[in-house]
Amino acid sequence: MPGHLSPLGIKQAKQIAERLKDVKIDYIYSSDLKRAKDTALEILKYHPNIPIEFTSEIRQRYLGEWEGKTKAVLGILNDADSIMKSPKDGESFKDLYLRAGKFIPKIVDKHKGQTILLVCHNYIAQALLSIIKNIEYTDDYQKYLLSSEKISNTSINIFEIDENKICKVEIYNCTKHLV
């Protein structure tokens, strides 16, 4: 669902934009869903000449019959329920992982030596980070998602990927700008 930013989300979008205002950015990719798009547009206020591409490739996980329904209606009590249950006609975590696995190599090859900003959603961010960190998809991937640190809204994650596609984590899940 496109969604919208809550008042807290609007505040966080402004805070991350302020945090990134002096960071060199060569290109921005953003989910084309409204809440991510609005966050990217806040960042773009400080980087008006940066090319931006709104893409469905980094949308949140498609939830099929669950779309637009609350967790309470679906009987989802916690993160484990939402990760371990799968919606009918929705995107599986394997599908999400495979989508991320197509996106990352494409942008790494296209933007060698550049600083790329991705504005996306939690589960696709987890999948993208899994690809960047060379975490393979296994039958236990959903358990991995449960055991890994949840990525916070508007957190900063910085990775350097060298010419051999070796990844070095610079910053992970940083939210110091959210004061």
Structure tokens at 2: 């496109």
> Which architecture, in CATH terms, is 7-174?
3-Layer(aba) Sandwich (3.40)
45-73: b (≥16 Cβ within 10 Å) or e: eebeebebebeebbbbbbbeebeeeeeee
Predicted structure pTM score: 0.89
Is the distance from CB of 69 to CB of 75 less than 8 angstroms?
Answer: no
Q: Which of 130, 123, 122, 136 has its CA nearest to residue 104?
A: 130
Give me the tens of pLDDT residue by residue for the chain, a chain 179 residues long: 667 899 999 999 999 999 999 999 999 999 999 999 999 999 999 999 999 999 999 999 888 888 888 888 888 877 777 767 778 888 888 899 999 999 999 999 899 889 999 999 888 998 998 888 888 888 777 777 777 777 888 999 998 888 777 788 889 899 999 98
d(CA 50, CA 24): 10
Query: CA-CA distances (angstroms) from residue 150 to 26, 78, 126, 159, 178?
Result: 27, 13, 8, 17, 16
3-state secondary structure (DSSP) of residue 119: strand
3-state secondary structure (DSSP) of residue 104: helix
